[in-house]
């Protein structure tokens, strides 16, 4: 697993163990875990808000993003409910300009690292900006 390979080092992942449990809460009991136990696996949680909150001008569906706006907002709310109990949970709301959201995310990561490692915030490459 990534956790074993990382050892004591931190790493960033785009999904967490509680994601599925946001929709299938009974799974937690079935696999013998709890929110508290799962929270301990993560030093921090940063949830990035969906552009669905900004409306159809900013949120578009495609082959990967198939959920209509209403469903995307429900998914965001469910994930927020399950993760918001984590002691170092952060929510970065959608922003009209992706650079605002990106900068907020990097600021949180930098704060979490207590500035022990310098993080150089450079503009997001244009190839990464599309459809975010």
pLDDT category of residue 115 using cuts at 50, 70 and 90? very low
The residues with which 109 forms a beta bridge, in sequence order, are none
pLDDT category of residue 119 using cuts at 50, 70 and 90? very low
The domain spans of the chain are 2-96
* Token pair in block for residue 71: 């469903």
Which pLDDT belongs to residue 118? 44
The mean pLDDT value of the chain amounts to 85
pLDDT category of residue 127 using cuts at 50, 70 and 90? low
pLDDT in tens, 36-84: 999 998 889 999 999 999 999 999 999 999 999 999 999 999 999 999 9
Which residues 6+ apart lie within 8 Å of 79 measured at CB? 19, 22, 47
Which pLDDT belongs to residue 125? 59
In whole angstroms, what is the distance from residue 57 CA to residue 65 CA?
Answer: 15
Going from the C-alpha of 100 to that of each of 21, 37, 116, 131, the distances in angstroms are 30, 33, 23, 15
């Amino acid at each position: 697993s990534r956790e074993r390979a990382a050892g004591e080092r931190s790493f960033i992942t785009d999904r967490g163990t509680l994601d599925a449990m946001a929709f299938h809460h009974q799974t937690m009991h079935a696999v013998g875990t709890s929110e508290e136990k799962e929270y301990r696996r993560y030093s921090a949680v940063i949830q990035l808000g969906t552009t669905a909150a900004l409306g159809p001008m900013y949120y578009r569906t495609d082959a990967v993003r198939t959920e209509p706006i209403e469903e995307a907002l429900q998914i965001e709310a469910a994930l927020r409910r399950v993760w918001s109990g984590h002691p170092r949970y952060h929510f970065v709301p959608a922003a009209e300009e992706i650079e605002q959201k990106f900068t907020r995310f990097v600021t949180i990561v930098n704060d979490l690292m207590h500035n022990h490692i310098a993080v150089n915030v450079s503009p997001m490459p244009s190839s990464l900006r599309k459809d975010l």
